[in-house]
Chain A
Amino acid sequence: MLSQTPNPILSIENLKKSFNGFTLAIPHLEFHKGKIYGLTGPNGSGKTTLLSILNLLEKPDSGKIFYRGEVISSKQSQRLNIRRKMAMVLENPYLFNSSVIQNITYGLKVRSRDKKSIQKRAAKALELVNLSGFEERKANELSRGETQRVGIARAIVLNPEILFLDEPFTNIDKAHIGVIEKLIRNINRERNTTIIFTSHDLFQAFRLSDEVLSIVNGKIVRGSIENLFTGDIKEKDNLQWVQITPSLKITVATKMKGNVHILIPPEDIILSRKPFQSSARNVLKGIIKKVEIENDIVRVGCDAGQEFVSLITKASFNRMKLSIGSPIFLTFKTTSVKVF
């Protein structure tokens, strides 16, 4: 098991940041030493902004950030000290206009580390991303995937306590995704590094991380963002529902009005061959489109007017003899539907 210190390594309270009519608002969030966090969400939902604020590259409009319980002030020296315990790999990393080795050693040089250890650590970092021998190559002549890997090596050479990775897999070719995934796990295990990465690939986020956080429209949603829909609240005879498409409506209970997002946790959707009597108000008919098995959990993707995902155990999956193309009923309670 991963060790967990009582104090989170990084936490935020009442954070707010607005720009261009968009607001990132997080009442409370904590990250613990040695854990891997996957941050998912649609484009423009605030993932990168959150990473930049956590890495102290940007200041929030209001709210506090704590490093090991200590509040981070706006004092330059304190911010620099704490920033030097973390490192971020940007989505599409920028490599300085020099050689690969110059890029890798930059962070160590600004920290005035001695030359001998710099060379050793740089060689090791390049080896970890499968780029040994690339030292003298010009940074601007690398492919996108190589650039991404140099970006990762440039950050891990610093041996940070917290490593932020913004969409680390976007530019990586298929052959190297496994290498980078393994690298992330190894760094986390060997060095007990806290890793916070963003990804639009939910399956990957689940596979790699101890905890998946979803961020939608500037707000944190625990769990995944599968089964996320948008629609208008309608009301009739004391019954409320969200009209997703003309033929698909989902019953909800909320005080909100107008256009809303709704989210149904995949583990709350019950699958059955036939409709059954229950208090659950939402029963949808669909067809199984996708089946992904991981350990003892099966993720079943169904088309019921929109794509829904349900998480069930392997045992019940086998017992029900489900397969792609099987007709299926999806049942979930009104109270399972999160409205925001």
Chain B
Amino acid sequence: MNYMLEALVNAVKMIVGFNPELLSIVSVSLKVSFISTTLAAIVGVPLGFSIAIRDFWGKRGIIILLNTLLALPTVVVGLFIYSLISRSGPIGRIGLLYTPAAMVAGQFILALPIVTALTVSAIQGMDKRIRKTALTLGANNLQTVSILISERKFAIFSAIIAGFGRVFAEVGVSMMLGGNIKGYTRNITTAIAFEAGKGEFSLGLALGIILLSIALSINILVSYFQKKTV
């Protein structure tokens, strides 16, 4: 018990004292997850939008597939990308393995179905009168799309934030594709796994506290946007 308490005190000290190693790890996490989520939003929001408003053959199937992909195991994504970018893989020569770029690629695949599926339900759940109102007031197609997005902006924001929450807390992709290289690809989750393995609980605990607080902030943000949406 004493030893747990000691680790906790050390962890708080590290956070309050802006420990440089701690900062480097947190900044890798934030950078990689921010870039991967932004890319997932750039692709996923328009994709989700067009799935939601168009009627086409196989639409239900695509939505079921997207919902299945919400629970995509991170190690499967890691394995898939690994097989592509490892030395002997088809694009192995580019030298992506164990770089932040590889982590971004893996996290992008994890976040994309979340952003897309939640955008689909955000747009499908919208009031049918919005489109009719825009059209009767003289909006062209582009203007109609932009008012639809603007009217659902909070629901779409929460879709993007949910995607960020998922990739920020994942460990499989980061470990397999980033390789936990200190100061380069070591992020919060891989560092926690690594430190725990070494029996160094203080840094792990400090990172855990940060991870939980960020996850908590994300959830507060999502529930704020969801309240705005209603």
Residues of A within 8 A of B (CB): 52, 55, 57, 76, 80, 83-84, 86-88, 90, 92-94, 96-97, 106-107, 110-111, 154-155, 158, 164
B135 & A93 in contact (Cβ 8 Å cutoff): no
- Closest residue to A52 on the B side, CB-wise? B132
Known: A96-B151, A97-B151. A110 touches B129 (CB 8 A): no
Determine the chain B residues whose CB is within 8 A of the CB of A155 once the complex forms. Answer: 136-137
Binary A-proximity of B129-173 (CB < 8 A = 1, otherwise 0): 110111111111101000100110000000000000000000000
A107 & B137 in contact (Cβ 8 Å cutoff): yes
B137 & A158 in contact (Cβ 8 Å cutoff): yes
Known: A96-B147, A96-B151, A97-B151. A90 touches B133 (CB 8 A): yes
Residues of B within 8 A of A (CB): 127, 129-130, 132-141, 143, 147, 150-151
B136 & A110 in contact (Cβ 8 Å cutoff): no
Q: In whole angstroms, what is the CA distance A87 to B137 when docked?
A: 6
Determine the chain A residues whose CB is within 8 A of the CB of B147 once the complex forms. Answer: 96, 106
B138 & A83 in contact (Cβ 8 Å cutoff): yes
- Closest residue to B228 on the A side, CB-wise? A97
A90 & B138 in contact (Cβ 8 Å cutoff): no
- Closest residue to B140 on the A side, CB-wise? A80
Known: A94-B133, A96-B147. A76 touches B141 (CB 8 A): yes
Determine the chain B residues whose CB is within 8 A of the CB of A90 once the complex forms. Answer: 129, 132-133, 136
Determine the chain A residues whose CB is within 8 A of the CB of B138 once the complex forms. Answer: 80, 83-84, 87, 107, 110-111, 158
Q: In whole angstroms, what is the CA distance A224 to B174 when docked?
A: 73
B151 & A83 in contact (Cβ 8 Å cutoff): no
- Closest residue to B139 on the A side, CB-wise? A110
Contacts A/B (CB < 8 Å), 7 sampled: A52-B132, A83-B135, A90-B136, A94-B129, A96-B130, A106-B147, A107-B137
Q: In whole angstroms, what is the CA distance A111 to B143 when docked?
A: 10
Apart from A94-B133, A110-B143, A155-B136, what are 10 other A-B pairs with CB-CB below 8 Å? A52-B132, A86-B136, A87-B136, A87-B137, A90-B129, A90-B133, A94-B129, A106-B134, A110-B137, A111-B138
Give the top 8 A-B pairs by smallest Cβ distance, nearest first.
A94-B129, A107-B137, A88-B136, A84-B138, A110-B139, A94-B133, A110-B143, A107-B138
Which one of B127, B132, B141, B143 lies within 8 Å of A57 (CB-CB)? B132
Q: In whole angstroms, what is the CA distance A80 to B135 when docked?
A: 9
The smallest C-beta distance from B182 to any residue of chain A, in angstroms, reads 48
Determine the chain A residues whose CB is within 8 A of the CB of B135 once the complex forms. Answer: 57, 83
Q: In whole angstroms, what is the CA distance A106 to B141 when docked?
A: 15
Q: In whole angstroms, what is the CA distance A284 to B168 when docked?
A: 81
Q: In whole angstroms, what is the CA distance A89 to B136 when docked?
A: 8
The smallest C-beta distance from A158 to any residue of chain B, in angstroms, reads 7
- Closest residue to A111 on the B side, CB-wise? B138
Determine the chain A residues whose CB is within 8 A of the CB of B141 once the complex forms. Answer: 76
- Closest residue to A76 on the B side, CB-wise? B141
Q: In whole angstroms, what is the CA distance A90 to B130 when docked?
A: 11
Known: A96-B147, A97-B151. A110 touches B132 (CB 8 A): no
Determine the chain A residues whose CB is within 8 A of the CB of B134 once the complex forms. Answer: 106, 110
Determine the chain B residues whose CB is within 8 A of the CB of A93 once the complex forms. Answer: 129, 133
Determine the chain B residues whose CB is within 8 A of the CB of A111 once the complex forms. Answer: 138
A106 & B129 in contact (Cβ 8 Å cutoff): no
The smallest C-beta distance from A306 to any residue of chain B, in angstroms, reads 37
- Closest residue to A98 on the B side, CB-wise? B150
The smallest C-beta distance from B160 to any residue of chain A, in angstroms, reads 19
- Closest residue to B135 on the A side, CB-wise? A57
